[in-house]
Chains A and B, each alone.
Chain A
Amino acid sequence: MKKSDITILIADDDPDYLFQTVFNLEKAGYKTMAVESQAEAESVIAKFKPHLAIFDLMMESDDSGFILCYKIKRKYPDVPVILATAVSHETGMSFSVDSDQEKAWIRADRYLEKGIRPEQLDQEVMKLLKL
């Protein structure tokens, strides 16, 4: 599959982070669909299947990202999900999706700290989509 055939859904309530992520992904060649809230992401998921999704953790509620992971995986189990947040540094709330136990309750395929470089993000996306 070509990058230009791939649509990535991004949900983040920080408009600048959203702008930058969309910009970087499109520059890398992907199509994007950007939403600013959990509610919007849910209504997109209801009628559209993206190839990959990137969710911010804290939006309307502190666990919006977790909820979205859960919902999208229930509807489209094969869509890879990246959970992107800046949260662990500040809250000391560290988690990953590496151990089986964590995988059991965090339905994300990758967990990324915000502020990663565009090339790195592209790498991660390609890995998840096996491009």
Chain B
Amino acid sequence: MAVLKVLVIDDEPGIRSGVSRILNNFHVTYPFMDEDYTFEVSEAATGEDGIVILERDMPDILLLDNKLPGIQGVDVLEYIRKRNYDIVVAMITSYASLDVAIRATRDGAIDFIPKPFTPQELKSSIENITKQQYLKRITHKLKQEGKKIRYQFLSVLSHELKAPLNALEGYLRMMQEKQAGDRIEDYATPIERSLQRIQGMRNLIMDLLDFTKIRLERKEEKIQEVNMAEVASGAIVTVQPYAIQMDVTINLDVRSDVVIMADPDDMEIVFNNLISNAVKYNKVGGKAEITIDSSDSEAILIFSDTGIGITKGDTENLFTEFVRIKNEKTRNISGSGLGLSIVKKVIELYHGTINVESTPDIGTVFTIRLPKKPLTIT
């Protein structure tokens, strides 16, 4: 149960007590609200008294008569606006001249309740105001949360970007001060590691570009018919040199010729990431198998490997940005920690799903289901 504070400023005692009586027994509820709202009414007969109460109680809602003995209702409104107080104001007035209406609206009054009003009229106005107030608060809260998530992302990102720089700096200092000896051969490991860290950083930057691209770009104009088997073949060609180096065989099984409406770049991101993961987290002599199939409405893409696998606990965080499963087996595998979160974002953009099943030391299977004709891509 949440309580909204209501202040009535009106010189007519009948109006004030009427409002108090009606609202003190009133509550507002909506299916989407967490809790019911009730009201606590305070009263003032003049604008001057009203401002005193307002400063003391900070009401949520102000019911304001314009014609007052001293300062006018619009003056009170201006007072609130100048201080940026978060108070919803509804004017209650019998002479709602156009002039007053314009000025009051400009200064932030969101409703007019004409006098005389019935209890039902007052209630429905208050109901609207409450709903607005609720939505405003929820929006504000969501914005704050959004900011927090962005901040977390950026702080982890800067950590990820700084780690390779720290490593490079350390190695360069070592060389500058000739700490390991006078010959260039004495620095074979630092040089090799530096090159690897540079490559890792480059990959991170590439992934980051993909990541921001899928977050920012509007795609409508790029949507076209995309043949899944073609995209898969293209991605296999890209990953092949790495697979040969790792001694992993990549196999493509096209069970159904699937064409979906999509941005081809997005599909390429999905295939590249999942195929290169299937190779990267595999064993020497292992296999990576890509199956393309379909149901009536969906494309079904299966990526299975005979790799190191993932434990049940680790699969939960697998799609989170910058999460890399750290253990004995992944120690020497470099990655940005963004690949799978990118894949998941793309799949969600197309209203598809991605599932993972894995057994440590046996292998991992990713199954993607994509609607062939997504209604909207957002």
Contact = CB atoms under 8 A, between A and B. Distances in A.
Interface of A: 13-17, 19-20, 23-24, 27, 36-37, 59-60, 86-87, 89-92, 114-115
Interface string B151-173: 00001101100110011011100
A60 B326 contact: yes
B326 A37 contact: yes
Given A36-B331, A90-B156, A90-B158, A16 B197 contact: yes
A96 B350 CA distance: 47
B179 interface: yes
Given A60-B327, A89-B162, A115-B166, 10 more contacts: A14-B167, A15-B331, A16-B166, A16-B193, A19-B189, A19-B190, A37-B327, A90-B155, A90-B162, A115-B169
Nearest to B158: A90
Contacts of A115: 166, 169-170
- Interface core residue of B166, B170, B190 (most chain A CB under 10 Å): B170
Contacts of B167: 14, 16-17, 20
A115 B162 CA distance: 11
B180 interface: yes
Interface of B: 155-156, 158-159, 162-163, 166-167, 169-171, 174, 179-180, 189-190, 193, 197, 326-327, 331
23 contacts: A14-B163, A14-B166, A14-B167, A15-B193, A16-B166, A16-B167, A16-B171, A16-B193, A16-B197, A17-B163, A17-B170, A19-B193, A23-B180, A24-B179, A37-B326, A37-B327, A60-B326, A86-B159, A87-B159, A90-B158, A90-B159, A90-B162, A115-B169
B326 A92 contact: no
B179 A27 contact: yes
Contacts of B197: 16
Contacts of A14: 163, 166-167
Contacts of A92: 155
What are the nearest 9 A-B pairs in CB distance?
Answer: A16-B167, A20-B170, A90-B155, A90-B159, A90-B158, A91-B155, A60-B326, A115-B166, A16-B193
Given A19-B189, A23-B174, A114 B166 contact: yes
B166 A17 contact: yes
Contacts of B158: 89-90
Nearest to A64: B326
A20 B174 contact: yes
Nearest to B154: A90
B162 A86 contact: yes
A17 B158 CA distance: 17
Nearest to B160: A90
A89 B163 CA distance: 12
Contacts of B159: 86-87, 90-91
Contacts of A87: 159
